[in-house]
Copies of this chain bind each other. A is one copy, B any other.
Amino acid sequence: MKPNVVFWYEFASSYSYLSAMRISEVASRAGVTVEWRPFLLGPIFKSQGWETSPFNLYPAKGRYMVRDIARTASAHGIPFKMPTAFPGNGLKAARLAIAAGGQGAVAGFSQAVYAAAFGKGLDIFDDAVLTECLLAAGLDPETTRTLAGDPAVKAALRTNSDEAMAFGIFGAPSFTTSDGELFWGDDRLEQALAWEIDSTKEKS
């Protein structure tokens, strides 16, 4: 079995930024492929009774998150700027990411969106911002927007979100392995990759 992890991410999630900017390199070095799977956290948070991000509901946690990500981003040598409106609305970006996936550009487009949202603090619900991200990933904005409007793409995003909840995913980023282990949080990325390598080795 070829080692592969599923990377579950929500574009509004600040900690997903840290993983999105490094997972390609870290996984490639470990010999693991990555399936990028965007989903929406909103419905999961709502099912827990949360109408917004826990970082807004619990201010001490929110202040800590900003400082914690600033420290980690600095250690990774990447910029960090919180968007003015947090959490952003990741719906359009998630549909575009699925459409980008059909063109082999899900990683490049998703990284461009995260770089805009948390590297520059831009609003990723803004069409002009998304156009720049599409161009940065080498995609044609008009073609990709048409694809993203297809009912099949909308259904695929709903399926991703339903499957995330069914899997027991409650936050982002999350990582799942071929044998069904769930890892939550950027700081579990290495552990997820190591688990995937061990478990696929046993089966090969």
Contacts and interface: CB of A to CB of B under 8 A. Distances in A.
Interface of A: 48, 58, 60-61, 63-64, 67-68, 71, 168-171, 181-185, 187-188, 191, 195
Contacts of A185: 187
Contacts of A191: 71
Nearest to A75: B191
As for how many copies of this chain the complex holds, the number is 2
Contacts of A183: 68
Given A48-B58, A58-B48, A187-B187, A170 B64 contact: yes
Contact of A60 (B64, B67, B169, B181): B169
A168 B68 contact: no
A177 to B, nearest CB: 11
A44 to B, nearest CB: 8
A188 B71 CA distance: 11
